[in-house]
Structure 1
């Protein structure tokens, strides 16, 4: 059974699985940041570039399998499949949400 996710996270994963770049970007605040693969992206233009690059490169689909809360973070464990070596793998997505938008995402 899939965990019940906060709305911004649910919308992010739905858009990610459809490879819908604009819909993914819409879940982030204007000043959001993302940390992935040792890189930090800040602001919507940088996040858009990251979304476009990773979508094109990996064609990822994500299946959330666990949900934890730690302080202000929502941590989603997910099975991630795509066009990368070792697929599928489990990753943890660390979200900070303010209102109805993602303000920070760290993947690892």
Structure 2
């Protein structure tokens, strides 16, 4: 199954961005508007993911998010992988925040 992919710089400003990285990765740096549901929890929390709009899925480099986007697509959801993950997000100089009080970075 082919999953659509988008470059971080092309992400719509009102996008629902689902970050599936682990907690320590999230804390170090994430998109301000992202929703955090780690890949390891997505099956049990799928009801928290909207079914009435496109979900853009991001991880560190794009592998985990591709798997989650493919799974969501199998469920009938409209899911798009964010190509290159948060590493590409950071390279594109998209906004990031951290939960540590330190400057955000991709862990």
TM-score scaled by length of structure 1:
0.26
Q: Which has the higher helix share?
A: 2
Using CA pairs below 8 Å that are at least 6 residues apart, which structure has the higher relative contact order? 2
TM-score of the aligned structures, taking structure 2 as reference length: 0.26
